[in-house]
Chain A
């Protein structure tokens, strides 16, 4: 985070909410990509163009094998990763206060309220 100054000699730094959100978005995009390169190729290789013997399809828990390994398995893994992301990885950032929320709380004349709220402790 490189701080910089403006003409009034106030110092600014990159907003941690922005930095955290961007980092989280990159990881989430990676999870999506991982799930895609698991589900689609595995399903395609195990479930497409195979010789089927009617009445004798290999199954796992009653579903065709390729559905289990290509969809259900990554789905469960995705749920585990989602749980980890939600409770361990995504930061509990302060998202600030909207002008009408401040007005509701009785604060008047808060032209600079937004800046102040963004700069609050723990943002």
Chain B
């Protein structure tokens, strides 16, 4: 953007390099001032809290479970290798990876279908239909599955009628179902944004050069939708890794995930330093994902 001052009579002089430099400095100062309130707020209520998680992960456990900074140690972090803990971490990673893959496969076919509808109005309408559940209360959406999967729920009745499944509530499949249901829209929206932007004449050109439909898809469509795949995968993977509400409502004792385990450390187990170390581990994964996101140039929003 060109720099234009309130005093237009000074304009012709901007050819002067000194004045130009000063104008640029003033411009950058203005930009900084616009950001300052949000910047300060986020440093105070996001960056510093993020830092304190790492500090407290090395603290010792005080009498009430609260961190005591005096006897600092690495117990919280070494406990991550404890068999019980690593089982939970492993399970959480497994659940997050599988859920991301499921959302990607189902979401891709879905987003592709919406993005390839010929009429703009149809596309808009279908997209609105995706947005509604996306905006609807997450808790209510999870609660709905608790109703359906309980002993007298419709899904259970259907399973018993066909003899295919029994009550699935409080099991891992129930958690998967809840996570897929909860996070699918997070995958569909960035995928749709990426696929809709594809220049289809490139695909046609590939087909004209005798590429098969599958080959054209793998070599042209799929690479062109990469930004959406990366953005959607991050938006599903990270929240799945720290999921708490879904496994809490739909899962049982054998499906404890990292999110539930962390909450327990701040509740019944009263071990804040260990809870901090577990949160720190998730934060490291998140920071790596953020770097990947920026490096890949996948930013669509």
**Are A and B genuine complex partners?**
no
